[in-house]
């Protein structure tokens, strides 16, 4: 067996260029499939993490296909509906930084408000209100974006809709459990956020509602909508469906890449299955003439195919892990998450799904080994003299 293994290694080295091409193509396909699966698994994990803290109902003022500010007194009457446990009006919006050419999310916080996101709720309890100059708490990525302004001027300038300047000092950095949610957020005192976003007192961007009994969510949402047809109510299950729809849409790209990879792999398999090259046939004929049995030749070709495919598989998976989780999948990540130069980048959490790896393993290596063995067996059972001639 040791002699067979040594001969196989020597054969792989002897056909170095040909085997290097096989390892490169095989490894590239494994890298591509693994990278796509790692990215989709990480995004799926992020979406599931975010969805755990979704409110039961999201309330927005929406008519004529456009969203408008929500009056606070509209929300007050909803407290009288049996089953409603809390209603939280939110002040938030997108702010465009002209100098950075990027949109960031401003979120106004206020003490004693039961925010649906625990990190924001904890920060709001200790957030310094009515402070001069006002403070902001940002995500790490936003701080990195604005730190040169903070170091140079000691604060970040914001302009209100009536062109007044509000200078805001850095008050800290927050960290959510997922990077998709915190990559562009700035927390401000709610009164400051209202001035910057142009939202008057008594109005909110939208509102979150909690329902004591989850089975009554749809009923209460329908009841509110019938009484207030200008309100758009999105339940938690609808939000999850929207995320799933978005994910399925992105999965179209996944399917396209998957098909492309397998078509390429199929071409390699067809080339291998169509027959051995003349030097490979001659080698098998010489081995038979030297006394090798058919089982020895099959074992030799089996070992050669396994060594090549396993080596290429390990290299492909290792390169995919490095590409996705160290380099942050440049180029490929935004195919699935959506790209905009106006958005902040985000980090992919490390999620290693062994089921996906096993799927790639069994979809590539056994097939490759099989198409290597079958042509070799056909030559091995033939007469050695005819094969050599």
171 and 111 housed in the same domain: yes
Q: What's the pLDDT band for 338 if we cut at 50, 70, 90?
A: low
Looking at residue 196, what is its pLDDT?
92
- Predicted local confidence at residue 315, as pLDDT: 93
> Would you call the peptide bond into 7 cis, given omega within 30 degrees of 0 as the criterion?
no
What is the reported pLDDT for 101? 80
Q: Give the distance, in angstroms, between the CA of residue 184 and the centroid of all CA atoms in the same chain.
A: 16
pLDDT at residue 384, rounded to an integer: 67
pLDDT at 1: 57
Q: Per-residue confidence at 342, pLDDT binned at 50, 70, 90?
A: very low
Return the higher-pLDDT residue of 283 and 84.
84
Full-prediction pTM beyond 0.85? Answer: no
Residues 6 and 82 in one domain: no
- Which residue did the predictor score with more confidence, 168 or 116? 168
Indicate whether 293 and 336 sit together in one domain: yes
274 and 181 within one domain: no
**In the prediction, which pLDDT does 345 show?**
61
Q: Is residue 308 part of a domain?
A: yes
What rounded mean pLDDT belongs to the chain? Answer: 80
Q: Is residue 12 part of a domain?
A: yes
**Which of 69-78, 114-123, 297-306 shows the lowest mean pLDDT across its residues?**
114-123
Residue 335: the pLDDT is 66
Q: Would the pLDDT of 375 be above 50?
A: yes
Does 71 fall in a domain?
yes
Q: Which residue did the predictor score with more confidence, 38 or 116?
A: 38
CB 133, CB 213: distance < 8 Å: no
Cα(248)–Cα(236) distance, integer angstroms: 18
Q: Where is pLDDT greater, at 55 or 277?
A: 55
If asked whether residues 138 and 21 sit together in one domain, one would say: no
Kindly state the average pLDDT of the residues 151-170.
87
pLDDT at 78 (0 to 100): 87
Mean pLDDT to the nearest integer, 189-202: 90
pLDDT at site 251? 57
Other Cβ atoms closer than 10 A to 229: 8
Q: Are residues 173 and 47 in the same domain?
A: no
- What pLDDT is attached to residue 204? 92
Structure tokens at 51: 């969805």
Lowest-confidence segment of 214-228, 278-292, 327-341 by average pLDDT: 327-341
**Among 213, 238, 270, residue at a domain's last position:** 213
Of 213, 229, 255, the domain-final residue: 213
Q: Pick from 213, 239, 269: which residue ends a domain?
A: 213
Alpha-carbon distance 63 to 111, whole Å? 32
Q: Average of pLDDT values for 273-291? A: 73
338/380 same-domain check: yes
The pLDDT > 70 percentage for the chain reads 84
Count the domains in the chain: 2
Mean pLDDT along residues 61-73: 86
Reduce the secondary structure of the chain to three states and give it as a string. CHHHHHHHHHHHHHCHHHHHHHHHHHHHHHHHHHHHHHHHHHHHHHHHHHHCCCCCEEEEEEECCEEECEEHHHHHHHHHCCCEEEEEEEEEEEEEECCCCEEEEEEEECCCCCCCCHHHHHHHHHCCCCCCCCEEEEEHHHHHHHHHHHHHHCCEEEECCCCCEEEEEEEEEECCCCHHHHCCEEEEEHHHHHHHHCCCCCEECEEEEEECCHHHHHHHHHHHHHHCCCEEEEEHHHHHHHHHHHHHHHHHHHHHHHHHHHHHHHHHHHHHHCCCCHHHHHHHHHHHHCCCCHHHHHHHHHHHHHHHHHHHHHHHHHHHHHHHHHCCCCCCHHHHHCCCCCCCCCCCCCCCCHHHHHHHHHHHHHHHHHHHHHHHHHHHCCCHHHHHC
Does 189 share its domain with 268?
no
Residues 146 and 164 in one domain: yes
Q: In this predicted model, which residue has the larger pLDDT, 33 or 274?
A: 33
Q: Where is mean pLDDT largest: 175-184, 319-328, 354-363? A: 319-328
* pLDDT digits 0-9 by tens, 196-249: 999 999 899 999 898 988 889 999 999 898 888 889 998 988 887 776 666 555
How confident is the model over 327-332, as a mean pLDDT? Answer: 78
CA 225 to CA 18: how far, in whole Å? 68
Regarding whether 31 and 85 lie in a shared domain, the answer is no
> pLDDT tens, 348-368?
778 888 888 888 888 888 888
Q: Who has greater pLDDT, 204 or 14?
A: 204
Q: Is residue 137 part of a domain?
A: yes
Give me the domain span that covers residue 312.
1-51+247-388
Per-residue tokens: 27: 């490894």
Distances (CA, A) of 107 to 11, 162, 173, 188: 65, 20, 14, 6
> Lowest-confidence range among 56-60, 169-173, 271-275, 372-376?
271-275
Residues 43 and 107 in one domain: no
Average pLDDT on 181-193 reads: 82
What gap in Å lies between CA 350 and CA 337, rounded to an integer? 16
User: Is position 87 within any domain?
Assistant: yes
Question: What confidence score (pLDDT) does residue 255 get?
Answer: 65
- In the block, residue with structure tokens 């030097």: 279
β partners of residue 208? 58, 88
- Report the alpha-carbon distance of residue 107 to residue 82 in Å, rounded: 30
The more confidently predicted of residues 341 and 223 is 223
**What does the alpha-carbon distance between residue 72 and residue 55 come to, in Å, rounded to a whole number?**
18
């Amino acid at each position: 067996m040791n002699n067979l293994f040594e001969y196989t290694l020597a054969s792989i080295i002897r056909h170095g260029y040909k085997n290097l091409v096989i390892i490169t193509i095989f490894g590239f396909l494994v890298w591509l499939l693994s990278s796509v699966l790692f990215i989709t698994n990480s995004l799926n994990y992020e979406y599931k993490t975010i969805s755990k803290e979704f409110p039961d109902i999201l309330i927005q003022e929406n008519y004529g296909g456009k969203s408008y500010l929500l009056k606070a007194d509209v929300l007050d009457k909803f407290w009288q509906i049996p089953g409603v446990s809390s209603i939280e009006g939110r002040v938030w919006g997108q702010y465009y930084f002209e100098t950075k050419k990027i949109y960031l999310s401003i979120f106004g916080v206020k003490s004693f408000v039961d925010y649906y996101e625990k990190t924001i709720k904890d920060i709001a309890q200790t957030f310094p209100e009515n402070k001069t100059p006002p403070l902001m708490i940002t995500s790490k990525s936003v701080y990195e974006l604005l730190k040169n302004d903070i170091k140079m001027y000691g604060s970040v300038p914001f302009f209100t809709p009536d062109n007044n300047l509000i200078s805001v000092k850095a008050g800290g950095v927050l960290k959510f459990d997922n990077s998709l949610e915190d990559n562009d957020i700035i927390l401000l005192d709610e009164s400051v956020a209202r001035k910057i976003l142009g939202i008057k007192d008594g109005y909110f961007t939208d509102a979150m509602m909690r329902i004591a009994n989850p089975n009554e969510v749809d009923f209460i949402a329908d009841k509110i909508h019938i009484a207030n047809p200008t309100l758009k109510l999105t339940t938690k299950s609808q939000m999850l469906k929207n995320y799933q729809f978005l994910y399925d849409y992105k999965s179209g790209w996944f399917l396209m890449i998957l098909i492309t990879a397998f078509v390429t792999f199929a071409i390699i398999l067809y080339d291998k299955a169509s027959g051995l090259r003349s030097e490979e046939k001659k080698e098998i004929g010489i081995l038979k003439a030297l006394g090798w049995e058919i089982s020895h030749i099959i074992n030799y070709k089996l070992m050669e195919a396994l060594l090549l495919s396993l080596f290429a598989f390990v290299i492909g998976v290792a390169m995919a892990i490095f590409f996705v989780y160290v380099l942050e999948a440049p180029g490929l990540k935004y195919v699935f998450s959506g790209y905009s130069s106006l958005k902040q980048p985000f980090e992919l959490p490390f999620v290693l799904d062994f089921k996906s790896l096993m799927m790639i393993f069994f979809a590539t290596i056994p097939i490759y080994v099989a198409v290597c063995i079958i042509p070799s067996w056909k030559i091995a059972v033939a007469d050695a003299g005819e094969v050599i001639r």
